[in-house]
Structure 1
Amino acid sequence: MNYYLFTIQYDGTDFCGWAKQTKQRTIQGEVETAISQVTRNAQFRVVGASKTDAGVHAVDQKAWVELEFSPNLPGFLNGLNSALPVGIKITKIEPIKPEFRVRNCQQKTYHYQINLDTPNVFENRYYLQPKFKFDQNKLNEALQLFVGTHDFFNFSGLKEFELAAINSIRIIDSIRLKEEQKN
């Protein structure tokens, strides 16, 4: 078997999250469909670094991929991107060692964007548009409750038996509420 790390970016608006689901369009499902179309009957496995919720976007999602063959990487990347739907792109494929585990990453960064201005039809997929005014100081105060070490098992989608291999305890170093003015 051959092992690769895929770097993927996507606009998750039209998808039901990362993890493959029956009768739902997901990022993992679309990546697996593209691999099936390009490889024709080859055996493979895809494991994402994280599961994301419906509508979530990613700039640098990682996925561990096991293939039964060794592809020409530039051609394989090109073929996969041609088979993927609009809104999903694999930006990089690199070989990795078999023991590499994508879920044992060192750090993740999340950005949540809230638009407090007038909605813009060209940007509204990328911002939460609150339907009411809220106190930014109180929001910042509430966000600080997440800083520190916490067990996220209940949010992980992991099964009990998976805890032996995957640690659900995470450290949140910081959360910042930053106001930016649009141009």
Structure 2
Amino acid sequence: MSNYKIVISYDGTRYKGWQSQKSTDATIQGKLQDILKKTAGYPVEVIGSGRTDAGVHAKGQAANFHLKEQIDERKLLETLNHYLPEDIAVLSLEEVEERFHSRFQAKEKTYMYRLHTSKIPDVFERKYVYTYTEPLHLENMKRAAAYMTGTMDFTSFCANKHMKKSAVRSVYAIDFQVTEKEIDIIYQGNGFLQNMVRIMTGTLLEVGMGKKKPEDIPMILAAKNREAAGFTAPAQGLVLLEVKYD
């Protein structure tokens, strides 16, 4: 068996998320697996570094798959990009060691959430930003973000209320990039729970609006209750930028 790693970018607007589903063919994993099955002549499972939600985008999603034989990497890359829809692209393809696993061996993920803050709509970016034009107290948002940084139980920021596995994650940094028209929030961590970045963003926005205080964050974390945190920010503002490995 040969193991191949790919890096994928996609516009998630019209997809139901990463994970393939029996009820629809509108998933990123499903599109990739369909082409690989037709190319290889047998079913091929594409293992993603994580499951992005419906409507979430990626510039550097990582995945791997196994084939029974070795192939010409350049030709397979060309084949994938030829048959994939125009809103999905495979940026790179390389053979890796047999034991490489894109999800279990991921060491760091970087997400960006984009807030469009201008009262003038950006018609070309509307599918990739969350438009919020009311005043935000940015310094309070930064103070709140500091409480979210570190290794801790993030149950309050997880949409899956029945998750049985550990909700402990390490968030290495939350940074803000501010321009005249946009606020970008950059999240770096070893992994993120279902909807975690979107819930963290919604909570930070509620702090910025004055609905919550920065000092509320430790209590929200300690509650281990999704209802204690803020709203879930819309999917279209979120993009997976990069997945790092050793």
Name the TM tier (shorter chain).
0.7 to 0.9
Tell me which moved more, 140-149 or 52-61.
140-149
Q: Which residue of 1 aligns with 2:175?
A: 176
CA shift, 1:168, in A, is 5.9
CA shift, 1:88, in A, is 0.4
Q: Which residue of 2 aligns with 1:23?
A: 23
SS in 2 for 1:81: helix
CA shift, 1:33, in A, is 1.3
CA shift, 1:152, in A, is 5.3
Residues 155, 20 of structure 1: CA spacing in aligned structure 2 closer, same or farther, 3 A cutoff? farther
RMSD over aligned CA atoms reads 2.5
Matched to 1:49, the amino acid is: S
- Paired with 1:76 and 1:150, the residues of 2 have a C-alpha distance of 42
Match of 2:126 among 104, 124, 127: 124
Matched to 1:28, the amino acid is: Q
Q: Which residue of 2 aligns with 1:139?
A: 141
Q: Does the CA contact (< 8 Å) of 2:33 and 2:43 recur in 1?
A: no
Q: Does the CA contact (< 8 Å) of 1:18 and 1:52 recur in 2?
A: yes
Q: Does the CA contact (< 8 Å) of 1:42 and 1:67 recur in 2?
A: no
Q: Does the CA contact (< 8 Å) of 1:156 and 1:168 recur in 2?
A: no
Q: Which residue of 2 aligns with 1:38?
A: 39
Residues 17, 45 of structure 1: CA spacing in aligned structure 2 closer, same or farther, 3 A cutoff? same
Pair 1:47-2:47 in alignment: yes
Q: TM-score, normalised by structure 2?
A: 0.64
CA shift, 1:151, in A, is 4.1
1:69-110 deviation line (CA, Å, top 9, x unaligned): 211111111111111111100011111111112112111111
CA shift, 1:180, in A, is 1.6
Pairing of 1:107-122 with structure 2 (within 5 A): 107-117=108-118, 118-122=120-124
- Paired with 1:50 and 1:174, the residues of 2 have a C-alpha distance of 19
CA shift, 1:125, in A, is 1.2
Matched to 2:175, the amino acid is: R
SS in 1 for 2:173: coil
What residue ranges of structure 1 are gaps of 5+ in the alignment?
Answer: none
1:29-49 deviation line (CA, Å, top 9, x unaligned): 11111212323x224221100
SS in 2 for 1:110: strand
CA shift, 1:156, in A, is 9.2
1:120-174 deviation line (CA, Å, top 9, x unaligned): 11111111112644333333333333211134578497975xx6xxx86431111
Matched to 1:66, the amino acid is: H
Q: Which has the higher strand share?
A: 2
- Paired with 1:87 and 1:149, the residues of 2 have a C-alpha distance of 35
Residues 33, 151 of structure 1: CA spacing in aligned structure 2 closer, same or farther, 3 A cutoff? farther
Q: TM-score, normalised by structure 1?
A: 0.84
